[in-house]
Structure 1
Amino acid sequence: MKHGTLTTRGNRVELRFERRLTHPPEKVWRALTDSKELAHWFPARIEGAREAGAELRFFFEEGDPGTGKISVFDPPRVLEYTWEGDLLRWELRPDGAGCLLVFTTIPADRANVARDATGWHFCLDNLEAAVDGNPAAGFDKERFSALNAEYAARFGLGSFPAFLTGPANRVSEASLRLPGVEAYVFDGADGTQLTLCHAKSDADTGEQWRDFDEYLVVLEGSYTLTINGMDIQLGAGREFVIPRGARISGRFTAGTRTLHALGGRRFERAPA
């Protein structure tokens, strides 16, 4: 299977790809470590010694270079190094006349994992082409967008981007009164409010009344809305409009993220 898979490792995630190649580990190892071979498929130029403990620098055509370090160098079996906080591990396992390439990465930012998966998917396609002696495929914007959308649907983001979760927008615990849930609030000029919620554990909102309309979207996970005594199960991608005057409660499962657009202002920010 050429698509990457995502596994939770504690509070981090691991992105994993497996590719069966018709070439021995020694040939694929050269594609992973030789600068001339890397130029056919790797997204940056790598400078630095190829040995355990070596410092690395990663260069693009524009911008400042990135940094990293080799932690495992065991030819032709295991290569592991860091790149700007991401851990990259390449394993080659003999498989008949060829080998199984297992690539795993632990991204520093979970919010970018769909984009990362798309990028590495393309890189591995080009790696396969390179060891087969074929030219790399050119960048196909439409295919990249479609594959990125597919990975986003498979994985979700897992968390909100950092620019949305600054301390200035954090909802105070006294205002939220919902242990296990983090929330961030944004006030509209017209008196409305937008709130982002991320359940770190299962949580129950308790019953409450709405004195304004609410638009609810489940971005990831599962949320049970109870409205006027009726349970409504909402999965990722589901939306619901809660009318003013409704008697409601909600139950989050751990990992669920929701967006709430409120017709009034309910939450206060945490004190600075």
Structure 2
Amino acid sequence: MKNGTLTTKGNHVELRFERRLAHAPEKVWRALTETQELAHWFPARIEGARKAGAELQFFFEEGAPGAGKLLVFEPPRLLEYTWEGDLLRWELVPEGKGCLLIFTTIPAERANVARDATGWHFCLDNLEAAVDGTPAAGFDKARFSALNAEYAARFGLGSFPAFLTSAANHVAADSLHIPGVEAYVFDGADGTQILLCHAKTDADTDEQWRDADEYLAVLEGSYVLRINGMDMELGAGREFVVPRGARVSGRFSAGTRTMHAFRGRSLGRGGA
């Protein structure tokens, strides 16, 4: 099974891959640590001493370098370092004449997991080709897109990207009246208002009369819209337009993320 798996550990998630390789740990270790070998499969050039505690820099062909730190260096068994807030861990377990490669990463931002899983999946495919001595498959846009869609369907984003959840846009709890739901509001130049909601627990909204049209989209999870006494269960990807004058309430399942757009501004600004 070459696909990555995702588990929740405390307040973070861990992405994990396992690959069985027909090569001794010593050979795979060189592919993981030596500059000339990394060039065959790793997405950046790594500069820095190969010893625990060393500062690392990651260089792409374009753009500013990234920073990290080498935390564990135990040849040919365990390698662990950080890269721009992500923790990367490589473990080699001997199996007969070969070894089991266990790669885990703790991403700094949950919303990047599906994207990261796709990228690391391709990197590991190229690593396998490198140690086997066969040409790397190269970048296949169609395959990348299909694999990314598969990971996105399995993992979802799990949260909104950090740039959408700044304190300046956070809705104060007493303005929203939905315990257990985090929300962020954005005001359009034409008076339209967009509200992003993320339910941390199961939650119910109070019944309200809509004084303006509302566009509702369920991004992840499940949301039950009660409109004029009728329940409508909306799963991920469903959209609905609530007309002005409707009597509405809603029920979030834990983990659900929704987007609401209003014709007019109905929410005040609050601090985080």
TM-score strictly above 0.5: yes
Shift of 1:271: 5.3
Give 2:56's aligned residue: 56
Q: Give me the identity figure in percent.
A: 81
Distance, in Å, in 2 between the alignment partners of 1:18 and 1:49 is 27
The answer to whether structure 1 residue 213 and structure 2 residue 213 are counterparts is: yes
Shift of 1:90: 0.7
Normalising by structure 2, we get a TM-score of: 0.93
Q: Is the 8 A contact 2:109 2:162 kept in 1?
A: no
Distance, in Å, in 2 between the alignment partners of 1:61 and 1:202 is 46
Give 2:87's aligned residue: 87
Which piece of structure 1 moves more, 256-265 or 127-136?
A: 256-265
Distance, in Å, in 1 between the alignment partners of 2:222 and 2:271 is 30
Shift of 1:263: 2.7
The answer to whether structure 1 residue 262 and structure 2 residue 262 are counterparts is: yes
Give 2:47's aligned residue: 47
Shift of 1:16: 0.8
Distance, in Å, in 1 between the alignment partners of 2:250 and 2:205 is 5
Give 1:127's aligned residue: 127
Distance, in Å, in 1 between the alignment partners of 2:92 and 2:53 is 20
Q: What are the within-5 Å matches in structure 2 for residues 178-257 of structure 1?
A: 178-257=178-257
Give 1:33's aligned residue: 33
Distance, in Å, in 1 between the alignment partners of 2:153 and 2:196 is 19
Q: Deviations over 1:63-103 (max 9, x none)?
A: 22222222222222211111111100011122233221111
2:128 match: secondary structure: helix
Give 1:66's aligned residue: 66
Shift of 1:167: 2.7
Which piece of structure 1 moves more, 99-108 or 3-12?
A: 3-12
Give 1:15's aligned residue: 15
Shift of 1:182: 1.6
Shift of 1:186: 1.9
In the alignment, structure 1 segments of 5+ residues that lack a partner are none
Shift of 1:138: 2.0
2:184 match: secondary structure: strand
Q: Deviations over 1:102-147 (max 9, x none)?
A: 1100011222222111111111010000010012222222322232
Give 1:159's aligned residue: 159
In the alignment, structure 2 segments of 5+ residues that lack a partner are none
Distance, in Å, in 2 between the alignment partners of 1:90 and 1:9 is 18
The answer to whether structure 1 residue 171 and structure 2 residue 171 are counterparts is: yes
How big is the alpha-carbon RMSD for the aligned residues of Structure 1 and Structure 2?
1.8
Shift of 1:39: 1.0
Shift of 1:173: 2.5
- What letter corresponds to residue 50 of structure 1 in structure 2? R
Distance, in Å, in 1 between the alignment partners of 2:80 and 2:188 is 47
The change in CA–CA distance for 1:110 and 1:271 in structure 2 (over 3 A counts) is closer
Distance, in Å, in 2 between the alignment partners of 1:237 and 1:13 is 23
Which piece of structure 1 moves more, 10-19 or 188-197?
A: 188-197
Distance, in Å, in 2 between the alignment partners of 1:144 and 1:119 is 8
Distance, in Å, in 2 between the alignment partners of 1:191 and 1:20 is 57
Distance, in Å, in 2 between the alignment partners of 1:88 and 1:163 is 23
2:266 match: secondary structure: coil
Normalising by structure 1, we get a TM-score of: 0.93
Q: Deviations over 1:146-187 (max 9, x none)?
A: 322222222221221222222332223332122221211222
The change in CA–CA distance for 1:58 and 1:189 in structure 2 (over 3 A counts) is closer
1:269 match: secondary structure: coil
Shift of 1:14: 0.8
